[in-house]
Amino acid sequence: MKQRVIYILGLIFIILNSCNKDKVPEQTICSSEDVVSYSEDIEPLIQQQCLGCHDLGGGSGGYVFNGHDNVSSNASDMLDAMNANGLQLMPQNGPLNDSLINLFELWICQGKLNN
């Protein structure tokens, strides 16, 4: 009986320890060597996906995304909206593909350069 209890406790210990996932450090998106260009990469994305609602004439939700300064100062909120992190998913016509979201995130990580 005593051996059976020890066996069961040992088995439970093994099962519980095997359920722990090894945490693999996430590779940060900022580690890319490619420099994102605001004028060639980000500005066209904003023009195509955001300015229909968030331009100087409308500023839907209080956000205006004309020019680097406006985009840069709202970049964190924009990224949250692209990922629906506590904000309404944007753009309204459907989510951006992951490569565009990653490009925008990389631009933020690189310091939101005006290049």
Domain count, the chain: 1
Residue 93 lies in a domain: yes
- Summarised one tens digit per residue, pLDDT across range 57-108 is 767 888 899 999 999 999 999 999 999 998 889 998 889 999 999 999 999 9
State the residue range of the domain holding 76: 35-115
What HEC string does the chain produce?
A: CHHHHHHHHHHHHHHHHHCCCCCCCCCCHHHCCCCCCHHHHHHHHHHHHCCCCCCCCCCHHHCCCCHHHHHHHCHHHHHHHHCCCCCCCCCCCCCCCHHHHHHHHHHHHCCCCCC
Yes or no: say if 55 and 87 are a contact pair by the CB < 8 Å rule. no
Residue 71 lies in a domain: yes
Residue 16 lies in a domain: no
Residue 39 lies in a domain: yes
pLDDT mean across residues, the chain: 83
Mean pLDDT on 28-46:
87
Residue 26 pLDDT > 50: no
What is the reported pLDDT for 87?
83
Residue 92 lies in a domain: yes
Residue 22 lies in a domain: no
Residue 105 lies in a domain: yes
What is the reported pLDDT for 21?
44
Residue 108 lies in a domain: yes
Structure tokens at 19: 């359920």
Task: Output 85 or 14, whichever has higher pLDDT.
Answer: 85
What does pTM read for this prediction? 0.71
